[in-house]
């Protein structure tokens, strides 16, 4: 067997293509979508505008978070891999059900599904590996789905407002997380706090693993 091209001594060579962290992409989609759902739940815009939020979930959040999930698995990142992929599926479910359901209606079945989704999101949170801000955003997303689930089961207007308030808080947190990780990836150092156990300069470029 001939030596690989570019290895004159005959030793095999491995070429690595760095993968940037996909967390900012997933968090931006999360922030935009949860915020639109939140303003509907808070009654700041008419209930029939929930269809716009549904389309955002289907054409923005679901595909972008799925893409972030794929690259998260390639980077061996549980938050960006499992977390983003599961968020993608949950937003797709919310998008479809919001399109077919009458405005201002609730669904106990959807509520139970959101409880299950919230519980499943705790898996990447508990295995985040020291990324505290990223884990916190996913944990807040789990709380957002759980509170929304209570509203869907009970139909209570108070829980609907609580879901909207939690959704807005998640939108702000996700936007901060997106900015912090994006700046970190661009400058190769921590600028905004992301809650890492170690600074990024001691770990190498985000998305690149020192051991394969």
| 59 assigned to some structural domain | yes
Residues 6+ apart with CB under 8 A from 4: 12, 13
The C-alpha atoms of residue 167 and residue 57 are separated, in whole angstroms, by 14
Which residues 6+ apart lie within 8 Å of 88 measured at CB? 61, 62, 63, 64, 65, 66, 69
pTM over 0.85: no
151 in a structural domain: yes
Q: Which long-range contacts link 154-159 to residues 24+ away (Cβ below 8 Å)?
A: 154/106, 154/111, 155/106
Q: Does some domain include residue 7?
A: no
Instruction: Confirm if 145 and 121 have CB atoms less than 8 A apart.
Output: yes
With bands split at pLDDT 50, 70 and 90, how would you rate the model's confidence at 192? confident
In a domain, 196, yes or no: yes
Query: Does a structural domain hold residue 79?
Result: yes
Over residues 50-79, the pLDDT tens digits come to 999 999 999 999 999 999 999 988 888 878
Question: Does 82 have pLDDT greater than 50?
Answer: yes
Q: How confident is the model at residue 206 (pLDDT cuts 50, 70, 90)?
A: very low
**Tell me, what CATH number does 154's domain have?**
1.25.40.600
Whether residue 171 is contained in a domain is answered as yes
* 68-82, 132-146, 169-183: least confidently modelled range: 68-82
Find the domain containing 156 and state its range. 23-202
Least trusted range by pLDDT, from 22-26, 27-31, 127-131: 127-131
Residue 30 is predicted with a pLDDT of: 96
Flag whether 164 is in a domain.
yes
Q: 46: helix, coil or strand?
A: coil
Rounded to whole angstroms, what are the CA distances from 9 to 2, 13, 15?
11, 10, 16
Compute CA distances 67 → 10, 17, 34, whole Å: 38, 17, 18
> How many structural domains compose the chain?
1
In angstroms, rounded to a whole number, what is the distance separating the alpha carbons of residues 132 and 177? 10
Mean pLDDT, residues 188-197: 70
Q: Is 63 helix (H, G, I), strand (E, B) or coil?
A: helix
Q: Which of 9-13, 91-95, 103-107, 125-129 has the lowest mean pLDDT?
A: 9-13
Residue 130 has pLDDT above 50, yes or no: yes
pLDDT at residue number 111: 96
Assigned domain for 1 exists: no
Q: Cα–chain-centroid distance for residue 141?
A: 8
CB atoms within 10 A of CB 35: 19
């Amino acid at each position: 067997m001939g030596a690989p091209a570019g290895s004159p001594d005959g030793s095999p060579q491995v070429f690595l293509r760095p993968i940037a962290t996909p967390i900012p992409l997933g968090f931006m989609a999360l922030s935009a979508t949860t915020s639109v759902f939140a303003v509907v739940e808070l009654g700041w815009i008419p209930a029939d505008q929930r269809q716009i939020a549904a389309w955002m979930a289907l054409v923005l959040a679901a595909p972008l978070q799925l893409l972030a999930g794929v690259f998260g698995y390639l980077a061996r990142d549980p938050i960006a891999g499992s977390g983003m992929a599961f968020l993608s599926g949950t937003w797709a479910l919310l998008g479809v059900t919001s399109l077919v359901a009458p405005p201002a209606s609730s669904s106990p079945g959807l509520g139970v599904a959101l409880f299950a989704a919230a519980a499943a999101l705790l898996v990447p949170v508990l295995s985040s590996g020291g990324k505290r801000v990223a884990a916190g955003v996913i944990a807040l997303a789990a709380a957002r789905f759980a509170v929304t689930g209570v509203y869907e089961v009970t139909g209570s207007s108070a829980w609907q407002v609580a879901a909207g308030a939690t959704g807005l808080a998640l939108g702000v947190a996700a936007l901060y997380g997106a900015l912090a990780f994006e700046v970190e990836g661009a400058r190769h150092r921590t600028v905004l706090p992301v809650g890492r156990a170690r600074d990024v300069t001691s770990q190498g470029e985000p998305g690149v693993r020192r051991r394969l």
